[in-house]
Amino acid sequence: MQTFKIALTIVVALLLQMLLSDYVGFFQYIDLPLLVTVYFGLQRAPVLGMVTGMLAGLGGDAIAGGIVGVGGFSKTLIGYLVGTASVRLSLENPLARLAVVAVASAANTVLFVGLYQMLEQALPHMSTWAEFGATIGWKVLGDSVTSIALFVVLDRVFSEQATARRMAIRKRFYE
């Protein structure tokens, strides 16, 4: 049942990303599959974060077009790094989670653009360093604000995971 809920969450995030990007202008700066990847990476399970990132990234690549695998690689790496950090550090505090989202969003954008540049592919909306910096800033802002509401919803959907995560953190850091 848990695996089904995770898969359904990824599919819903991909569908919302596809639909809302066409109709809501600012939504181009929000990456729901990345936020889902970060959420599951924060569950103190690097493999879960990595697999979620791979599925969300490859799904996003298939839906958005472009080079298949670039988004998959960047989100897989982000999911693994967030998962590893959540095992070593206490990231249960909402401000810590917000900081993780901001760093993950910036890192994902840098990885994505870097991989496109390495493969000598042009990105039409980022031709100068100023546009690149502005894109990173808007993506960090959009992802951070969206993650506040999304994480509350996901904490309610996956309440048993949130409780287990809090118990594990309490046991490791406070006992």
Residues 6+ apart with CB under 8 A from 80: 41, 46, 49, 50, 53
Give me the torsion for CA of 75, 77, 79, 82, rounded to 10°.
-130
- pLDDT of the chain, 175 residues: tens digit per residue: 789 999 999 999 999 999 998 888 889 899 999 999 999 999 988 999 999 999 999 999 999 888 899 999 999 999 999 999 999 998 888 999 999 999 999 999 999 999 988 988 877 677 788 989 999 999 999 999 999 999 999 999 988 766 666 666 666 666 6
Say how many domains are in the chain.
Answer: 1
Q: What's the per-residue H, E or C state across 63-76?
A: HHCCCCCHHHHHHH
Q: Domain range spanning residue 19?
A: 2-174
Taking the complete model, does pTM exceed 0.75, yes or no? yes
Question: Tell me, what CATH number does 142's domain have?
Answer: 1.10.1760.20
Residue 76 has, within 13 A of its CA and on its CB side, a CA count of 11
- In the DSSP assignment, the letter for residue 25 is G
Cα separation, 63 vs 51, whole angstroms: 18
